[in-house]
Structure 1
Amino acid sequence: MAKLLYSATMSLDGFIAGPGGDMSWLTDYLGPNPTMEAATEEIGALLIGNRTFRGDDPLKGTENEGEPFGGGWSGPQFVLTHHVPATPVPGITFVTDLASGVAASKEAAGGSYVNVLGADVAQQCLAAGELDEILVCVAPVLLGDGVRLFTHPGGATTRLERLGLTSASQETNIRLRVVR
């Protein structure tokens, strides 16, 4: 059965996007990263939050704009949203609740990982007991404000077990398992 993996590049102060969802900061850190490239090969489907799907793209204006992992991955994509567009989007399946999104993306992934993209949907998966692993690529930058990797004021402590720690040209990669 597929596992859910939340992956993101994060600033040292804990933000995955700048104020207003700005992703332009990330372009300086989109270099070779063997850990992320290996993880991408393990992905069978994506479960994407609506704000991430409709949000800023660090590859805006390039030939890889709108392509998952800069064009380094293709496969089934499921977007969790309360507002399904009237016009279908090629290659995208819209789901309206977490349970059906998780079920559909796991089925599509087969024995591979479902990669969760978006802080809010990752938090929902964690709260529902569905999130299995987290891969954080820590970039050497302080954003000061924006969208946090996780945020749950007053939330419960979640234990994590380190599975791996590697370095790329500019980032430090931490892979963790959610301890249940």
Structure 2
Amino acid sequence: MTTVTADLAITLDGYVAGPNVTLDNPGGDGAEPIFEWIHTLASWRERQGMTGGEENRDSELVREWFDATGAVVMGRTMYDTGEEPWGDDPPFRTPVFVLTNRPRPTLVKEGGTTFTFVADGIHSAVEQAKAAAGTRNVDIAGGASTVRQYLGAGLIDELQLHVVPALLGDGLRLFEALGPGRRDLEQIRVVETPLATHLKYRFVK
């Protein structure tokens, strides 16, 4: 059965982006500590079509995440902020399903990435992604609002957080406005490195 995952970097005080997120500033103000650790990793650089980078435990975990993902769901804002930097050969290498109120024809890019625009809600998007993923995972990529919608609806099976050693103090929190109801998780793995503490959980359903 296909596993629906979410895999995010997060600060110790719970932020996944800084304040003042815009199309020109997708990470928000002061958010460099959330993301800069991954940019040095060999596995991340490979996906961007670059060479070099560090081969370490962090890189192994990121490569594991990439290799296990067979389809991606993202919000329209994430798509809009990344379309131009992604160019003709985006790093996903899988079908991507974009939640939107402004549908458009499917885009086919190099390297196996396609962008399908879904206008009939989060359930439809994840079901289409499951059909495309086969035996691999569906990753709910973001942004924060999209991940919260899936968490609130109980549609995520596994959650991996890369907790970076920083306190941001303001911005977008992941665990906010999820709606009522208790959510129990089973810890699968904890990996500590100098760059981050990698926490992996399975939701108990």
Task: Indicate conservation of the 8 Å contact 2:70/2:94, yes or no.
Answer: yes
1:84 aligned partner: 103
Return the alpha-carbon distance in structure 1 between the equivalents of residues 20 and 77 of structure 2: 11
Give the alignment's Cα RMSD to 1 decimal.
2.3
Return the alpha-carbon distance in structure 2 between the equivalents of residues 88 and 49 of structure 1: 15
Deviates more, 1:157-166 or 1:118-127: 118-127
Task: Indicate conservation of the 8 Å contact 2:71/2:137, yes or no.
Answer: yes
Aligned counterpart in structure 2 of residue 28 of structure 1, from 32, 36, 51: 36
Task: Indicate conservation of the 8 Å contact 2:151/2:178, yes or no.
Answer: no
Deviates more, 1:27-36 or 1:126-135: 27-36
Can you give the 5+ residue segments of structure 2 that lack an aligned partner in the other structure?
Answer: 42-57, 109-113
Residue 166 (structure 1) aligned with residue 191 (structure 2): yes
1:2 aligned partner: 2
What whole-Å deviation, never above 9, does each CA across 1:80-122 have from its counterpart, x for those lacking one?
A: 112224x654320011111210110001111110010112222
Residue 66 (structure 1) shift = 2.7
Letter in 2 for 1:6: A
Residue 66 (structure 1) aligned with residue 74 (structure 2): no
CA separation of 1:153 and 1:131: change in aligned 2, threshold 3 A? closer
Return the alpha-carbon distance in structure 2 between the equivalents of residues 162 and 132 of structure 1: 12
2:136 aligned partner: 112
- TM-score, normalising length: structure 1: 0.83
Identity of paired residues, percent?
29
Return the alpha-carbon distance in structure 2 between the equivalents of residues 19 and 56 of structure 1: 18
1:95 aligned partner: 118
Residue 162 (structure 1) shift = 0.6
Q: Which has the higher contact order (CA 8 A, sep 6+)?
A: 1
Number of equivalenced pairs: 170
Can you give the 5+ residue segments of structure 1 that lack an aligned partner in the other structure?
Answer: none
Letter in 2 for 1:28: E
List aligned pairs for 1:134-145, cutoff 5 A.
134-145=159-170
SS at match of 1:130: coil
Return the alpha-carbon distance in structure 2 between the equivalents of residues 80 and 44 of structure 1: 17
2:157 aligned partner: 132
Task: Indicate conservation of the 8 Å contact 2:148/2:178, yes or no.
Answer: no
SS at match of 1:142: coil
SS at match of 1:122: helix
